[in-house]
Structure 1
Amino acid sequence: MSAVEMGTTVAPPAVIQGGMGVGVSGWRLARAVAATGQLGVVSGVALDVLLVRRLQSGDEDGHLRRALAHFPVPALAQHILDRYFVPGGVPDDQPFPPVPKLGLRPRRRQEELAVVANFVEVFLAKEGHGGPVGVNYLEKIQLATPAALYGAMLAGVDYVLMGAGLPTEIPQLLDALAEHRPARLSVAVHAAEPDERHHVSIDPPDLLGEVPAVLRRPRLLAIVSSAVLATYLARDTTTRPDGFVLEGPVAGGHSARPRGPLTLDADGEPVYGPKDRLDLAKVAKLGLPFWLAGGQTGPERLAEARAAGAAGVQVGTAFALCRESGLAPVLRQRMLHDAAQGSLIVRNDVQASPTGFPFKVAQLSGTTAEPAVYAERPRNCDLGYLRTPFRRANGRVGFRCPAEPVDDYVRKGGSVADTVGSQCLCNGLVATVGFGQRRADGYVEPPLVTLGQDLAFLPHLTHEGDDYTAADVVAYLLGEVQP
Structure 2
Amino acid sequence: MTLQQLLGINLPLLQAPMAGVQGSALAVAVCEAGGLGALPCAMLSPDAIRAEVAAIRAGTGRPFNLNFFCHQPPTPDDAREAAWRASLAPYYRELGLDPAAIPAAPGRAPFSAALAELVEALRPPVVSFHFGLPAPELLARVKASGARVLSSATTVDEALWLEARGVDAVIAQGLEAGGHRGMFLTGDVTTQLGTLALVPQIVAAVKLPVIAAGGIADAHGVAAARALGAAGVQVGSAYLLCPEASTSAVHRTALVSDAARHTALTHLFTGRPARAIVNRLMRELGPLGGQPPAFPLATTAIAPLRAAAEAASSGDFSPLWCGQNASGCRAIPAGEITRALAAGLAG
TM-score in same-fold range (> 0.5): yes
Contact preservation (8 Å) 2:16, 2:38: yes
1:229 aligns with 2:158: yes
Residue 154 of structure 1 aligns with which residue? 121
C-alpha RMSD of matched pairs (Å): 4.1
1:323 corresponds in structure 2 to 243
User: In the superposition, relative to structure 1, how do residues 370 and 253 fare at CA in structure 2: closer, same or farther (>3 Å)?
Assistant: same
- 2:273 corresponds, among 343, 358, 366, to 358
Counterpart CA distance in 2 for 1:470 and 1:275 is 23
- Following the alignment from structure 1 to structure 2, what is the Cα–Cα distance between the partners of residues 308 and 428? 44
Letter in 1 for 2:221: R
Which of structures 1 and 2 has the larger relative contact order (alpha carbons within 8 angstroms, sep 6+)? 2
- Which residue of 31, 42, 45 corresponds with 2:42? 45
TM-score (norm 1): 0.52
Shift of 1:227: 1.8
Native 8 Å contact 1:243 1:289 kept in 2: yes
Distance 1:155 1:40 in 2: 16
Deviation at 1:475, TM superposition (A): 1.2
Equivalenced residues, count: 294
Look up the equivalent residue of 1:20 and give its one-letter code: M
Distance 1:429 1:230, change over 3 A: farther
Offset of residue 371 of structure 1: 5.7
CA distance in 1, matches of 2:110, 2:305: 17
What is the 5 A alignment of 1:279-358? 280-284=200-204, 286-328=206-248, 330-338=249-257, 342-355=258-271, 357-358=272-273
How far did residue 332 of structure 1 move? 4.6
Q: Is the 8 A contact 2:160 2:205 kept in 1?
A: no
Partner residue in 2 for 1:19: 17
Aligned partners of 1:227 and 1:283 also within 8 Å:
no
In the alignment, what sits opposite 1:456? 327
Task: Kindly indicate whether the alpha-carbon contact (under 8 Å) linking 1:224 and 1:230 is maintained by their aligned counterparts in 2.
Answer: yes
Task: Quote the residue 1:472 is aligned against.
Answer: 336
Q: What is the Cα deviation at residue 456 of structure 1?
A: 2.5
Taking only the aligned residue pairs, the percentage that are identical comes to: 22
SS at match of 1:130: coil
- Residue 94 of structure 1 is matched in structure 2 by none
Which one of the candidate residues 247, 255, 259 is aligned to 2:173?
Answer: 247
For residues 9-55 of structure 1, what are the alpha-carbon distances to aligned partners after superposition, in whole Å with 9 as ceiling and x for unaligned? 73674110001133x1311111111111210001112112xxxxxxx
Structure 2 residue matching 1:479: 3-state secondary structure: helix
Residue 334 of structure 1: SS of its match in structure 2? helix
Deviations 1:438-473 (A, max 9, x none): xxxxxxx96432121211224xx4xxxxx3110111
Q: Which amino acid aligns with 2:58?
A: E
Kindly indicate whether the alpha-carbon contact (under 8 Å) linking 2:172 and 2:202 is maintained by their aligned counterparts in 1: no
Change (3 A) 1:331 1:153: farther
SS of equivalent to 1:230:
helix
Structure 1 or 2, whichever has the larger Rg, is 1
Q: Secondary structure at the match of 1:47?
A: coil
Q: Is 1:294–1:452's contact at 8 Å kept on the other side of the alignment?
A: yes
Report if the CA contact (8 A) 2:7-2:126 is conserved: no
3-state SS of paired residue (1:314): strand
Alignment of 1:385-396 (within 5 A): 386-387=295-296
Give the letter for the 2:260 counterpart: L
In the alignment, the residues of structure 1 paired with residue 14 and residue 194 of structure 2 have an alpha-carbon distance, to the nearest angstrom, of 26
Counterparts in 2 of 1:468 and 1:336: CA distance versus 1, 3 Å: farther
Matches of residues 81-480 of structure 1 in structure 2 within 5 Å? 114=46, 116-140=47-71, 144-146=110-112, 147-164=114-131, 166-167=132-133, 169=135, 172-176=137-141, 216-235=145-164, 239-255=165-181, 277-278=197-198, 280-284=200-204, 286-328=206-248, 330-338=249-257, 342-355=258-271, 357-363=272-278, 386-387=295-296, 401=297, 424=302, 427=303, 447-458=318-329, 461=330, 467-479=331-343
Whether the aligned pair in 2 keeps the contact of 1:33 and 1:471 (CA below 8 Å) is yes
1:420-447: CA deviations, max 9, x gaps? xxx74xx489969x9x9xxxxxxxx964
What CA distance in whole angstroms lies between the structure 2 residues aligned with 1:273 and 1:285?
Answer: 15
2:80 matched residue in structure 1: none
Q: Report the AA paired with residue 306 of structure 1.
A: R
1:131 alignment partner, SS class? coil
Structure 1, unaligned stretches of length 5 or more?
1-6, 49-113, 180-215, 264-269, 373-379, 388-400, 405-422, 437-444, 462-466
Q: Which residue of 2 aligns with 1:10?
A: 8
Q: 1:274 to 1:371 in 2, by over 3 A?
A: closer
Instruction: Return the TM-score normalized by structure 2.
Output: 0.70
* SS of 1:123 mapped into structure 2: helix
Q: Are the counterparts in 1 of residues 268 and 282 from structure 2 also a CA contact under 8 Å? A: no
- Which piece of structure 1 moves more, 142-151 or 297-306? 142-151
AA aligned to 1:347 is: T
Amino acid at match of 2:231: A
Counterpart for residue 189 of structure 1: none
Structure 2 unmatched runs, 5+? 74-108, 286-291
- Please tell me whether the aligned partners of residues 120 and 141 of structure 2 are also in contact (alpha carbons under 8 angstroms): no
Change (3 A) 1:429 1:361: farther
SS, match of residue 125 in structure 1? helix
How far does residue 333 in structure 1 lie from its aligned partner after superposition? 3.8
